[in-house]
Amino acid sequence: MDEELKKKIKEVFVEYFEIPEEDLLDDKLLFDDLGLDSLDIVDLIVGLQKKFKFDLRQHSGIQQIRTLGDVCKVMEDIIKERRGN
């Protein structure tokens, strides 16, 4: 996984949810481990859209995220699609 991408995603979690970066491990569940709720997921999507400058709402993978690792994987897939890879 692209470490620079992961770093940028973690920055969104730190900025929007004040979660310490050391708590942001790939296997952490967004709801159970990180304490996010459904409204936080909306904020997460908004934060990622602002950080990466594209609309995520239409990507089917967004609805499947459960962990921080899932967020990173979906973002990586979206970026690859946008680049045509």
**Residue 36: how many other CB atoms lie within 10 Å:** 18
Position with higher pLDDT, 81 vs 30: 30
Average pLDDT over residues 6-20: 97
Predicted pLDDT of residue 85: 61
Residue 67 backbone phi and psi in degrees, to 5: -125, 170
Domains of the chain and CATH, by start: 3-78 (1.10.1200.10)
Rounded Cα distance, 17 and 56, in Å: 19
pTM of the predicted structure, to 2 decimals: 0.89
Residue 14: pLDDT band by 50, 70, 90 thresholds?
very high
